[in-house]
Structure formats: structure tokens, C-alpha cells
Amino acid sequence: MNRPMKCSTPPDSKSPDDEVIRQTRTPRRVLVLGATGYIGGRLVPRLLQAGHEVRVGVRRPEKLKQVPWAADVDVRTLDLDTGHGLEGSLSGIDTVYYLVHSMGSDGDFEAAEARAAKRFVRAAATAGIRRIVYLGGLHPEGRELSKHMRSRANVGRILLDSEVDAIVFNAGIIIGSGSASFEMIRHLALTLRWMPAPDWVANRVEPLSVRDALYYLLSAVDVEEAVNCSFDIGSRQILTYADVMRTFAAVAGLKPRHVIALPLPAPTLSGIWVGLVTPLPFSLTLPLVQSLQEDAVASSHEVDEVIQPPESGLIGFADAVRLALRREVEGAVDTNWDADAGGLDEAAQPLPTDPQWSGRRIFTDEQSATIGGLSPADVWPVLEGIGGTNGWYSWPLAWKARGIWDKAVGGAGLNRGRRLPDTLRIGDPVDWWRVEQLKRNSRLMLHAEMKVSGHAWLEFTLADSDEGCEYQQTATFIPTGLRGRVYWALVAPFHRFIFPAMAKNIAAEARRRVRS
């Protein structure tokens, strides 16, 4: 049975109360395909919060070990490429979220995605599924598309042409920590103040916050009437990609970013360049950049006839960036995900299942040791007395040279010293550091106030164990721009000697003091 790609205009005879198709909050049995992905991983806990019974179909169930909701869902092993586990996963299900998509650049992935989608819709029809919900990409009609966008559009058509009603959402770049599009924007803006870019930076885009993307997906399960339509969804704010870069920089508190559009399309070359400048893999940057060659703007707002916008309104790009960066700004280096944070606003925050390249670029040096026979109370006085006349327990000449250099360029240097020789409190200076967090006998965190392109912390934690005191020492550096990354690359070789020696000598000093 064939159905149109777009919704037809609702009958004029409808009463005012019927202007929007009815939605109910009936609990449904829902299957999520793509639960280990960016959108799926954020959708599942919110479906649970809404009272739905959730099943997830994944190729490798072990990938769900990190998520806090794994015990609350029915996990099924399912391989869409072969169809293994598909029939059992669909049994008894009302609504399926089809959130699987390959970002591969291999020419065969289009055919593979089409085969998987056709296999899926046949099984869904046999199982009596009520609705399929899919998230595709915004794209202009009647234009040649990249392989990535062409495949997503083709999958949407396969779902709409099936015997099962489908709601297909088409969205542009999704704004939230962990989204590939957002991370590309983030890393380009953080790294480069002057950005030579191909002419696609002048193309128009309608960003969508991940909060609003999830709002539409969650609402789709509650639409009562039969609907088989494709809807464009966006923030209703249209920007160029150059505007996106500049706005991100402004919200993130960076110096103004200058985007220079070159009269060259060069999608492949541009994708390689983005892969070199950012930590995203080439397997992502190549298809992402190729999909930027055309405008990504909603052609209509027909979705309002089925799902009204959020009561608080759709989020603009700047506010979506603020949500994505909020925890990073407020929480310094703490990016652990709160498992209880189930609201839509928290969806923009990092998750433990996000890829390693998501979030700010963070460099660390970690040292740990078990200091046998000592307790945290034995080691703490050494940590509380660090710096000043006691020094830093490693390579004094290197610390002195770094302090002289810092002073020469206008920083605090080492001669600022300490307020008291053996006692610290939050806010105290310690040479070029300042005490940011302190929990006696447990944790000391120092924030660097040296002149450097980025932010640095030095953290010490102590814990009791059967063997003695568990000592953990972590140096963290978050670079600002390309200079910050170059700085870390230059000092990292010295850290290989300085930080291990510091941990070793602090333990030795604690033992010496206990013996004496």
C-alpha cells in the first residue's frame, strides 16, 4: 500500500477543538532500535519516565552495561543486517522507534540500509505494529544529495510506503553534547580562531536542540489517530553555518571567530581537513561535511497540525548551546552523568555512553599508588603542606623554571607562596595554584592561575583500603584553541617524569613523617 510522503491539509470542517490531532498518554509497549546511539540512548530513559514499557533491540547487549536504565528495559539481541532476532523483538510491541543509521562512506552502505529497512517493515507488518517512528535529515526536494542524506531519505520512503503507519521526522543539525554535528562545531570553534572554509559555510541551516528533537519523538507515540506522514522539524531559527560557528564561540565565551568562505565546494577535502583538526574520526567527518553541501531548512510547519510545539517554545541555537555547555561551565572538570536526570533539558548534557571524541578536549595525567601501612590521615598533612617552602616533591629546578617563565609573562609565578605553611582552606593561594575544593583527609583540588591557553587542575584523593592508603593524583588540562593543544604537546614529555616522581616522593615523605 503506497502513502504520500507529506501530510495532506486537514479538512476545513474540523471544529477549533480539533485543530490538533488528539494525543493521549496511554502507556505503550515500545521497541527502540538504535538504543546505543546518541538519540536512542537519551530517548529510552524518557520513555520509561513517561510510563511506557520499553524493549530495546541491539546487536551487542554488552554495550548497555554503562547505562543506568539497562535493568528497567527488556534487552533483545537483534541484527537488522541478517534479521536475526527481529521477529521475537517485535512480538507484542505497539510502537517501534527506528533510529538506526550508518555513517559509513562505503558505497554499499546505502543498499545495506535499504535491505535492512525493507526486511524490518515486512516483519513489522506481520507482527501487527501500530506505528513506526523514524528520525531522518532535513534536505531540499529535487536536489542531488550526498550518500549519507540520500540513504536517510530512502529509508524514510521505505517506511512510509510500508503497510504500517509511520511518522518520519526530518531534522537538521542536532545541538547537544555528544551529537556528531554539535561536536564538529564545538571542536572547530575551540581550536581555530580564523577558519578558512569551503563555500558551504554560507549555506542555511535550521538547528534543533536535542531537547526538542526528543520532545517530538516522545510525542509521536501519543498521537492517537492513524498518521502516515513526513514532517520537517526545526527551531524556526535559520542561520548560516558561519553564523553557527560565531554564535557558538560567543556563547562559550571565546574570542570572536572569523570564518572565511573560500569559493570552493571541496566536500571530500573539507571532510579530511575537519578530521585532522577535530578528534572526530574520518568515518564521521567525511559524510557529515558532504551532507552540508545543501541548505537544511524546514520546508513547512505541518508538524504543528499533529504535534504542537513545546509549551515553553522551541529552543533557539544560542540557548541550545548554553544547555549543552551548562554542566561543563558549572561543573569544571566533572562530566559524570546524573542517572536521575531524566528531564528533557538534561538531554543536552554528556552521557557515559557518548563517544570518546564528544565533549571538550581534556588531557590528563593520572598516577595512583597504595601507600602500605598508612591511613589517609597520615598522608593528608603532606598534601596540605604542598607548595611554598615545602615545594612540589619533584624536579625543583623544573618547577622553578616554569615559575620564572610564568612570572615573566604576567602570571602569578611561584613566589606568591601560601597563606599558612601547613593549613589550607578553600580559596587559598598555593604558588600559582588556588584551592578550589578541599575535604580533609580525602580530597584536595587546585586550580591553576598560571598564564596558559586553557584551564588546569591538580587533584589529590585519598581513601582507606585493607592494604593502606589509596593515593590518586590527577592533572587535568582543558586547552583553549590551537595554542592550548600545542602547549600540552610541548609539556607532556616532562610530565612523564614530574608527576610520577611527585606521587612517589609524597608517599615517601608521608612514611618519613610517621616514622619520625
List the chain pLDDT tens, one digit each, 516 residues: 444 334 533 333 333 333 445 566 789 999 999 998 889 999 999 999 999 999 999 999 988 887 889 999 999 999 999 999 999 999 999 999 999 987 654 557 788 999 999 999 999 999 999 999 999 999 887 777 888 888 899 999 999 999 999 999 999 999 998 888 888 888 888 888 888 777 778 889 999 999 999 999 999 999 988 999 999 999 999 999 899 989 999 998 888 888 887 776 666 666 776 767 776 776 777 777 777 778 889 999 999 999 999 999 999 999 999 988 875 544 443 333 333 344 555 555 555 555 555 556 678 899 999 999 999 999 999 999 999 889 999 988 888 888 888 788 777 777 788 889 889 999 999 998 999 999 999 999 999 988 888 888 999 999 999 999 999 999 988 887 667 778 888 888 888 899 999 999 999 999 999 998
For residue 440, what pLDDT is reported?
93
Look at residue 343 in the predicted model and tell me its pLDDT.
55
Beta bridge partners of 421: none
Domain 27-348 fold is: Rossmann fold (3.40.50)
CA 453 from centre of chain: 23
Domain boundaries, the chain: 27-348, 363-515
Cβ neighbours of 417 (radius 10 Å): 13
C-alpha cell read off for 383: 598534601
Give the residue from 351, 374, 382 showing the smallest Cα distance to 460. 382
Q: Name the strand (E) or helix (H) holding 239.
A: strand 239-240
- The C-alpha cell that represents 376 in the structure block: 589517609
Q: What is the per-residue pLDDT for 68?
A: 85
Q: What is the pTM of this model?
A: 0.69
Residue type, 222: D
Alpha helices (H) in 128-200, listed in sequence order: 147-160, 180-191
- What stretches of 205-300 show up as alpha helix (H) in DSSP? 210-220, 241-251, 267-277, 282-290
Query: Cβ-count burial of 149 within 10 angstroms (0-12 exposed, 13-18 middle, 19+ buried)?
Result: buried
Which class would CATH give 363-515? Answer: alpha beta
| Cell (9 digits) for 203 | 549555506
Distance CA 465, CA 204 (A): 58
How far does CA 293 lie from the centroid of its chain?
24
**C-alpha pair distances (Å), 183 with each of 235, 248, 284, 464, 470:** 19, 11, 11, 39, 36
Predicted local distance difference test score (pLDDT) of residue 317: 95
Q: Give the N- to C-terminal CA distance of the chain in Å, as an integer.
A: 87
Dist CA 512 CA 514 (whole Å): 6
> How many whole angstroms separate alpha carbon 233 and alpha carbon 230?
10
Alpha helices in 52-164 (DSSP H): 86-90, 109-127, 147-160
Chain centre distance of CA 59? 22
